[in-house]
Structure 1
C-alpha cells in the first residue's frame, strides 16, 4: 500500500510538472501563423499581429543562417531579412516572459516578369496595372529605356494567375501581344498572365493518418507522405513539427523504413495541457516544401467526429439583409416617399421580428446553418438620395450602410430590446450572430459629421478632382458619394478612438458573437489593430469572430488577417474563378485548383476565410448560369433594363453542383439568403429581392433547398470537411475532384460539370491504400479496384464518398 501511495505521489508531481501551471504564458499565447518572407528582401511585422499581450517587454529574438532579425522595441516590431535559400521553411526562436517559442517562416522566391507595350504615339504617362497591385493605375510606371518606342516594366510575382491592362494617358488597353483574356464583368476584358512555380516538379504532400493510443506517457501521431518529386533521402531534419508555438524535438520524430510514413510523438508536456491546441507538420528542404498539415487537439484528443460546434471552422453562415428577409411586424413599415424612387431601392418591410419568427419556426435549424450574419441595423436616414454616377438614380438606406447614429437601432427594423431578444433566441437555437459594422463612412446626417467634420477626409482633391470612388488610387480616403463622408483615421486619432469605442459598446450591450466589417481595405490597419486590442482587453473569455470585406490581391487581403486584426476576410480571389468555372463551359478546373492551392498557401489548411456563391454586392450566380447575364456586360444596368428570372431547370442543377463544391472545401461557407431556393438577380439592388416564402416557392426550388440542406448536414457530420487537408486528385475541363482527410476519416468529393452522363475515373494515392467507397451524396454506381475509383455520373452532378 505504501509503495502504491508513493507511486501515485510521484506520478502527481510528474503530471503537475508537465501541466500548464508550470508555464502560464503557454496557454495564453495565440497560435502564430507561418509568416511569408522573401529571399533577399526584408519583412517587418508588428508583434501585436503575431500574438496578443498587454506588454511586449521581456522579449528577445535569435537570428540564424536563413535570416537576420532586428527587434524595434519602440514600435514593438521585428524586421526579418531572408538570405539566399538554405531552406524553404525556417523557425525564428524567441523568448517571451522566460518561455521559449518559435515563429514559423515560409521563405519565398518571387519570379520576375517583364511587361512590354508599344503605344501608337509617345505617351505622357503609361502604366501597367492589375490584380497584382489592386488595380492601381498610378503605381507601376513603364519606361522607354532604350528610346525605341518600347515601354517596359519589371514586376515580381508569386506563382499564380493574374489579370492586367495597360493605362495610357487615361485610356485602358489589353496587351496586344497576349491572346489570353477574360471578361471583367464591367463590359470589358482583361489580359491574363500565368506565373508557374519555380519548382518544376510535383510538390510533396503530407496526409494525416491516425492517432495512436496513449502508451508510456506518450501519444503517437501518424502521417503518410506522398513524396512527389522530393528527391532527397528523407531524414528527421526535413520534418518540422510544432505543438502550438513550440518546436517538437527531432528526437520525437520517427521515419519508418519505407520512407513514406512518419510518426511524431507528443510528450506528457503536450498531452496533459487542457483546452484547445494545434499541431502542425511540414516537410521541407532548400528547394521545395509540402503542405502544412494541421489539426486541433482538445484536452489531448482530436476534435470529435460529431455534429458539435466548437471552433469557428464549424460555422456555416447564413447572410441576410434585414429589410429583404421577412416582414414580421407591418406596424413598423415606413417606406420613403419620393417621386423618382423605385420600389427596389426603397424599404420593403423586413425587420428583426421577421428574423425572430424564422428562428422560432426552425427554418435555420432545418436548413442546417449555425451562424447568422445580419446586415447593419443602426439607424439610417429617412430620405432618398441621388447616386452620383450616371444615370443618377435615387436610393434609400434600406440596406443599413448609411448610418445616421452610432448606437441607435433603426426603428423600421425594431427596437434595442427586440435586438437583444433576437440574439438570445438565436443562441438558444444553437445559432451564432454576427453584427455588420460600418466603420469606413457615415451618412452626412450623422452627428459625427455634423459636429466633427475634421474627422473626415476631403471630398475635393488638390488637383481639383472629386475624391469619389477612387477605390485604389485614394484607398483610405475616397468617398462613395458626396453624402457619404469617409473617415480620415490616419489624420484623426479622436475619430479612431470614438469609432472603435462604438464597436466595443455594441459588444458590451448586445451578446453578438462577432462582426462582419464593411469596406475593410478603405480603413487603415491601425484602426483594426486598435479595435482588436480593445476587444481582447474587454472580452478575454469571448471567442469573437471578425471577418472583413476587401477586394484586392492576396497581399492586401492577408495584410488584415492577423492575430492582431481580423480573423478572416471574404475570399473573393477564390470566388471569382469558382463562379466563372462552374458556369462557363470553356473554363478549366485547373485554374480554380491553382487558386485553391494559393489560398491554402496563404491562409493555411485550418483557415476561417469565407467562401460564397453570392453576396449582396455581386450579381447572383443564377443570373449567369441561366444565361441572363453575360460576363462582358455591365451587370449594374442589366437588372434595371430587363426582368431576370430563372427559366431553365439546368440552372438549379448548376447551383446544386456549386453547393457541393462550396460545402466541401476549407474555410467557412456562406449561404446568401435565397441561395437555397435559387434566387436570381443582377447587381444590386436586383440581387436584393424580397425573400420568397410558402406558396411563392416553386417545387423545383423546394427540392433544391432540400438538397442543399443534405449537403450542409454532411458537412456538419463529417469533421474532414471542416478540418481536413485538401488533396486534388483530378482537375480538368469538366471534373474537379479532391480528397478531404483528417485523423478520423477520408472523403472524396467529385464535382462533375458536364451536360452528358459520364464515367469518371479517379486514381487515388496508393500510399493511402483505400479499398472501399461508400456514397454519402450523388451516385451509388461506384466501383473501386487497385487504387482506381470509377463513378457513373449524371450530368451536372456532385458526389461525396466516404473512403475506407
Structure 2
C-alpha cells in the first residue's frame, strides 16, 4: 500500500502564492510535449507566452534536451518510451514541462513493379506528402522500413506520380472525395494502456480523484500535480488508499489543475485536468466557450427575408444550386426574433463570409469545368464591404445586437488565404500574391499537401496570398480582421483554409486581437484537413483555440449512419483524440459541414462515401428521406457529439435531417415548413442541447468507455459529484446489455423520458430501444 506522501521522489518546489501567480501570468499551460521515439523535434515555447517577451533558461544536464532561444529541442534518437518532468526558468520563476516519448512500431512498405521508376508512400503520417517517403528500389521491388505510431493509418502509393492503393492489401476505405485509401492497422503492436485518474467528488476545498487500475494491475508510483505549469508543494495534496489523490485548492483562484502519474510499469498515467474559476471547478455557464453550442448558417441558404435584395446571376450555364438563392440578414433576424435559436438551445451563431462577392459567374479549373458563383461568400472582392445581396451594414449590426441580448455569441467566417481576382488588393498590390505556375510548368491548383501546401491556389481566379514574401500583406489582412471584430462587436472567427496559411499570420492575428480587445473572450476555430498532428500544430494560445475535430467525425459518421454498425474501434479513436488534444478542449464536433456529404443522404442509403458528392449534386441528386431510421441516426450522432469534449456544431438543417449530397447539394435552402418527423427530430436536438447546457460533466467530465461492441456504445462521464451514463443503440433491434458500473451509486435517473434504475451493487442491466440513446444521471 502507498502511504500518504511516502512516494517516489519528485522535484517539488515550495508553493508560495505570489510565485504561483507570477508563473501563471508568464505562460499559458504548456501541454505534454509528445516526441516519437527515434526523432528530434523542436517546440516553440513562445506559443505559450502571455506577454510578447519572456526570458527562458534551461539549466538541467540532460544532453538530449536543449534550449535555443524559445525553441525547446528534444532528441529522442536514443530514448526509450516513457516520460520526463523537466524544469525551465521563465522570467526568473521555475515552470515544469512534461515530455512523453511515444512508442513506435516497425513496419516495411513494399511495392513490386517491373516498369515503375519511382514509388513513394503518402498518408496521414506524413500529411499526405507525395515526396516525403520515397521507397528504395531493389530490382523489381520497392521497399522501405519506417517507424510509425501503433494505430490505424490510411495510405497510398505514388507510382510514377500516380496515386494507387496497395494491390497487396485488401483493406481499404473511402477517402471522402470519390476515391479510396488503403488501411494499415498497427494497433496490435501498441503497449498495454495504463490506468486512469478520475474526478471522484468535491468536498469543501478538497478535490478527490480516484485511480482506476489498468487490466494488468499496475499501481501508481508517483504523482505530478501542477496548476498551469507550476508544481504544487506536497502539503497541498494527500494520497488516498487505492492510489488516488486529493488536492486542496483553497490557494488556487484561477488556473488549470493538472495531475499526471507514473505507474509501476513506467508508463505515464494520462493527464487529468480541472479548470478552476473563482476558486471552484468550472461549472456550466453561458459565457464560457466550453459550454457553447454553435449553429452554422450559410447566409444565402438560410432564409430569404427581403426579396428586394435578390440579384441572382444570369448565366444559362449556372445551375440554380450554384447561384444566389436569396438568403439574407433579414431572414436571420426574423428567426432570431421568433426565438428559433433559443428554442433549439444553441448559444452561438457562426455566420458564413459576408464580404462583397463578384457579380458574375466563373468556371472552375478542374474537369468537368462547372460554373459557380460566390453565393457562399468565399470569393471576396472587397476587404470591408458587405455583399448587398446579403443585406446592409446596419442589418448585420442588428443581428449581432439582437443575438447578444439573448446571450448568444456571434462568430464570423473570415477568409485570409485568398481573394477573387477582381479584389482591389490584387489590382493594387500584385506583389502580395504568389504565382499559379510551378517551376515544372504545372498549375499549382488544389495541390493541397506537401511542398505546395502554403502556395497552392483554389482556382485560377482565386490567387493565394504569399504572406512569407509580403509581411505588409499580413499586417493589412490582420487589420481587416480587427476592423470586422470592432465594427460589429464579434465574439470570434471561424478561420478558413488554416493549413494553407503560415503560422506567422495566425500569430499576428491572434496577438493583435488580444491587444486590441483584452476584455473580449475571443474564440477562433479553424478548418484543416490533415493529420491530427498537423491540425493540432495550429491549436495553441498564440494561434487558434480550436479546429474541427475531423478524426472523431470521419471515424464515427460511418458507424452512426450504418445499418450494421460496429463501435469496436471507437474506444481507440477517442483515446487517440484525447492524447492529441487533451481531456478538455474546444475542438469542434460536427455531423456534417458545407464541405462534406450531408449525413442524412448517406444515412438514408441514397449516397455512398465513395460517391463524388459534387457530381451527384448536379447529375443524380438525392430525394426525400425514405427511411424513418435516418431521423434516429441523426439524433444518435448529435447525442454522441453532445457527450464528447469539445463544442457541438450544428450545420444548418441537421436539426431536421435536411437532405443533400456534397458541395453544392449540401447547401440546399433551409426549410421551416417541416413535417412531423422533422419536428420530432428538432425537439430531440433541443432536449440534447439543454442537457449539454445543464450538466457540466458532458463538456468537462472524465470519460470511460464501459461497452463498445457491435451496435451498442455505453460511456460514462464523471465530473466530481456528477455522473452521466450515456447509452447508444444504433441497430434496428432492442439490446439488453449488462455492464459493471465503476463507482458506488444507488440510483440512475433517466434525463430524457421517464425511467430510472435502482442499484444494489455495481452490476447494471440496461435495455436500450432500437435506434435510440439514453442519458442517465447520478449524483454522489
Shorter-chain TM-score: which interval?
over 0.9
Kindly state the Cα deviation for residue 781 of structure 1 after the two structures are TM-superposed: 7.0
Q: Which runs of 5+ in 2 are unaligned?
A: 1-14
Residue in 2 aligned with 1:210? 201
Conserved? CA contact 1:212–1:220, under 8 Å: yes
Kept in 1: contact 2:37–2:80 (CA 8 A): no
Indicate the residue corresponding to 2:227 in structure 1.
243
Q: Is the 8 A contact 1:778 1:797 kept in 2?
A: no
Residue 642 of structure 2 is matched in structure 1 by 663
Cα 1:212–1:64 shift into 2, 3 Å: farther
Q: Residue in 2 aligned with 1:220?
A: 206
Query: Mapping of 1:140-179 within 5 angstroms?
Result: 140-144=133-137, 147-179=138-170
Instruction: Tell me the secondary structure at the aligned position of residue 577 of structure 1.
Output: helix
1:480: Cα distance to partner? 1.1
2:530 paired residue among 549, 552, 573: 552
What 5-or-longer segments of structure 1 have no aligned partner? 1-16, 214-218
Deviation at 1:734? 0.8
| Residue 68 of structure 2: aligned partner | 72
What is the match of residue 11 of structure 1? none
Report the equivalent of 1:607. Answer: 585
Quote how far apart the aligned CAs of 1:689 are.
Answer: 0.7
Comparing 361-370 with 135-144, which one deviates more in the overlay? 135-144
> Counterpart of 2:282?
303
The structure-2 alpha-carbon separation of the partners of 1:741 and 1:511, relative to structure 1 and needing over 3 Å to count, comes to: same
Corresponding residue SS for 1:457: coil
- The residue that corresponds to 2:266 in the other structure is 287
TM superposition shift of 1:540: 2.0
The alpha-carbon deviation at position 318 of structure 1 amounts to 0.3
Matching of residues 443-462 of structure 1 within 5 Å: 443-462=420-439
CA separation in 2, counterparts of 1:322 and 1:709? Answer: 22
Alpha-carbon distance in 2 for matches of 1:507, 1:25: 31
Structure 2: how far apart are the matches of 1:141 and 1:104?
Answer: 34
CA distance, structure 2, for counterparts of residue 725 and residue 233 of structure 1: 19
1:648 equivalent in structure 2: 627
Alpha-carbon separation, structure 2, partners of 1:413 and 1:21: 53
Shift in Å at residue 132 of structure 1? 1.9
Partner of 2:88 in structure 1?
94
Residue 122 of structure 1, aligned match among 115, 126, 130: 115
Quick one: which of 750, 763, 766 aligns to 1:791? 766
Structure 1 residue aligned with 2:613: 635
Candidates 679, 683, 687, aligned match of 1:710: 687
Contact kept in structure 1, 2:705 and 2:715, CA below 8 Å: yes
Q: How far does the alpha carbon of each residue in 1:451-506 deviate from its partner, in whole angstroms, 9 at most, with x for none? A: 11221111111111111111114111111111111111122222122112211222
**Secondary structure of the residue that 2:687 maps to in structure 1?**
helix
Partner of 1:741: 718
Q: Distance in 1 between matches of 2:573 and 2:637?
A: 16
Higher mean alpha-carbon deviation, 544-553 vs 473-482, is at: 473-482
Pairwise CA distance, 1:534? 1.5
Contact 2:601 2:607 in 1 (8 A): yes
Following TM superposition, by how much is the alpha carbon of 1:136 offset from its aligned partner in structure 2, in angstroms? 2.2
Give yes or no for the alignment of 1:61 onto 2:58: yes
- TM-fit CA distance, 1:161: 1.4
| Structure 1 pair 91–64 and aligned structure 2 pair: CA distance change class (3 A) | farther
- In 2, are the aligned partners of 1:160 and 1:595 still within 8 Å (CA)? no
**TM superposition score normalised by structure 2:** 0.94
Work out whether residues 204 and 289 of structure 1, in 8 Å CA contact, stay in contact via their aligned partners in 2. no
The 5 A counterparts of 1:616-631 are 616-631=594-609
* Alignment match, 1:405: 382
* 2:34 aligned with 1:36: yes
CA drift at 1:43: 2.0
Please give the alpha-carbon distance, in whole angstroms, between the structure 2 residues aligned to 1:180 and 1:425. 52
Aligned counterparts of 2:401 and 2:346: Cα–Cα separation in 1: 17
The residue number in structure 2 matching 1:803 is 778
Give distance in 1, aligned partners of 2:326 and 2:163. Answer: 43
CA contact (8 A) 2:621 2:661 kept: no
Structure 2: how far apart are the matches of 1:536 and 1:151? 51
Change (3 A) 1:197 1:513: farther
Q: State the alpha-carbon separation in 1 of the partners of residues 93 and 652 from structure 2.
A: 48
In structure 1, the residue corresponding to 2:308 is in which secondary structure?
helix
How far does residue 632 in structure 1 lie from its aligned partner after superposition? 2.5
Distance in 1, Cα, partners of 2:744 & 2:79? 36
Instruction: Please tell me whether the aligned partners of residues 26 and 54 of structure 2 are also in contact (alpha carbons under 8 angstroms).
Output: no
Residues in 1 aligned to 2:766 and 2:21: alpha-carbon distance in whole angstroms? 53
Q: 3-state SS of the aligned residue for 2:552? A: helix
1:291 match: secondary structure: strand
Structure 1 counterpart of 2:125, from 132, 146, 149: 132
Contact 1:69 1:78 survives alignment (8 Å): yes
| 2:8 corresponds to | none
Shift of 1:326: 1.1
Q: Which residue of 1 aligns with 2:6?
A: none
Q: Secondary structure at the match of 1:504?
A: helix
Q: Is the 8 A contact 2:740 2:764 kept in 1?
A: yes
> How many angstroms does 1:277 deviate by?
1.8
Of 511, 515, 539, the match for 2:493: 515
- The answer for the alignment partner of 1:12 in structure 2 is none
CA contact (8 A) 1:734 1:752 kept: yes
Gap change, CA 1:600 and 1:209, over 3 Å in 2: same
Superposed displacement of residue 553, structure 1: 0.5
Aligned residues of 1:20 and 1:26 also touching (Cα < 8 A): no
Residue deviations 1:498-532 (CA, integer Å, cap 9, x gap): 11221122222221111100000111111111211
Distance apart, 1:764 and its partner CA: 2.0
How big is the shift at 1:227?
A: 1.4
Question: 2:355·2:385 contact (CA, 8 Å) conserved in 1?
Answer: yes
SS across alignment from 1:163: strand
Could you tell me whether the CA contact under 8 Å between 1:102 and 1:247 is conserved in 2? yes
